Amino acid sequence: MTERIPETERTPETERIPETERLSARAVADAIADDATFAELPALIRDSKPDGPLGWPGYDALRARAAERTGEQESVVCGTARVGGTRAVLIAFEFGFLGGSLGERTGDRLEAAYTYAREHRLPVVPLVATGGSRMQEGMLALTQLQRVARQSALTRKAGLAQVAVVRDPTTGGGWATLGAGADVVLALPGAQVGFAGSRVRPADADPAAYTAEAQVAAGAVDAVVRPEELRETLGRWLRLLACPSGTPAPPPDPLGGDAGLPATGWDAVRRARSSRRPRAAAYLDAYFSDRAAISGDRCGGTDPDGMLCGFGTHEGRTVAYAAQTGTATRPAGYRTAARLIRLADRLGIPVLTLVDTPGAANDAAAERQGAGAAIADLFGAVAGARTPVTTLVIGEGGSGGALALAAPGNTWATPDSYFSVIAPELAAAILKRPPREVEATADQLRIRPQDLVELGVIRGTVGP
């Protein structure tokens, strides 16, 4: 079913998508649900004063026209369905009903849906398309955001996942609660996504900043997913996030060949820095049968070249991963890893981290982006995790920028790796030694994998 909006109720948001392409709430729910599994939850009926709580002239007539046009009594349709085999609570917004706006009756339905999810231990999937709070109900509409936020927080505390799909448009409080507040946020291509709707943002604002693609670049959305891939993608996410396990993830097998342990400290450095050494992507591909990535620190940043984070399947169970890629890790990368570890901890999913960085990015931009605070946050996330964390050093272990990702008491190393308090070249410079003494300094630092085992820094090396 598609919606048809009268000329008198058109807005810039409603005009973005042709009527033949904008799906109704039930059509969206049916599109992602396994065949014939969507079942609507009973809707609460709230008694209402004529023309609503504010007595807004014509409000009842407006709602009646919206109901006649869409076949719905409110702006959300809530129900349960199987998505990729996993049962979940779906919250589908009907944008044709007053622009998918939130009012008191909307809040009733949302609260009931979240409560049902907690009672039946089901993940929640908001399918959001909204222009924000309903003006005809004033502040009583706006306070529904607090109500939704509380339900989301209770569901989070219960250890249940929330995976949102933001459709076009998703603006205002609906974006700032059901959308951006979810654990994983997916978006449809070209969707208008942002806190400010088109009629309230500055006249000279760049419209490209208010798109799904821009929100991915800003670290607020994890991925843009094409409609034809949405069911499969959602099914994968729900399956991955609904499989807790208290058993630690085993460290991966080494991929660097049979060269054995390094003879000297400098040999360890040389091998770890080799361009031929396998990097994080190769380890993740070998370790997981399938995986799905999260992206962004939810603070305006991403580090796609420095940190890979997500969830995958290893030997039939879900393992979360945060993996450095061999470059200097930026603040957004540390914050994304902290976000990943806290989410896995809340869902009871074990974590694998791969250490491989010459160190934290130390340029002026990194300092302005809060490098120290980001690293401190990751240290705290690892230290506070109740779910087991396993670490494998697969290359360079450069100072605190590497140690922040390492699990105390459960860190391992490959033969072609090293871990050092500081790079040997920098150590020699600080000690005012000539360049010819760098290799000797590397030996003194005792950075080889076997040295780290002897010192008690790591549990052991992987491989023969």
pLDDT in tens, 358-379: 999 999 999 999 999 999 999 9
- CA–CA–CA angle 402, 223, 92 (5° rounding): 135
* Pairwise CA distance, residues 152 & 123, whole Å: 11
* Pairwise CA distance, residues 426 & 193, whole Å: 46
Residue 37 contacts by C-beta under 8 Å, 6 or more apart in sequence? 80, 81, 82
Residue bearing the bigger pLDDT, 197 or 255: 255
pLDDT tens by residue, 263-275: 999 999 999 999 9
Place of tokens 């800003």: 218
* Pairwise CA distance, residues 355 & 326, whole Å: 8
* Pairwise CA distance, residues 303 & 301, whole Å: 7
pLDDT tens by residue, 14-63: 444 443 367 999 999 999 999 989 999 998 777 788 999 999 999 999 99
Q: Is residue 211 a contact partner of residue 167, using CB atoms and an 8 Å limit?
A: no
DSSP reduced 3-state for 419: strand
| Lowest mean pLDDT segment, chosen from 106-120, 167-181, 193-207 | 193-207
pLDDT tens by residue, 33-47: 999 899 999 987 777
* Pairwise CA distance, residues 174 & 131, whole Å: 7
At 227, which amino acid appears? Answer: P
Please tell me whether the overall predicted TM-score, pTM, comes out greater than 0.85 for this model. Answer: yes
pLDDT tens by residue, 105-149: 999 999 999 999 999 999 999 999 999 999 999 999 999 999 999
Tokens of 320: 């979360």
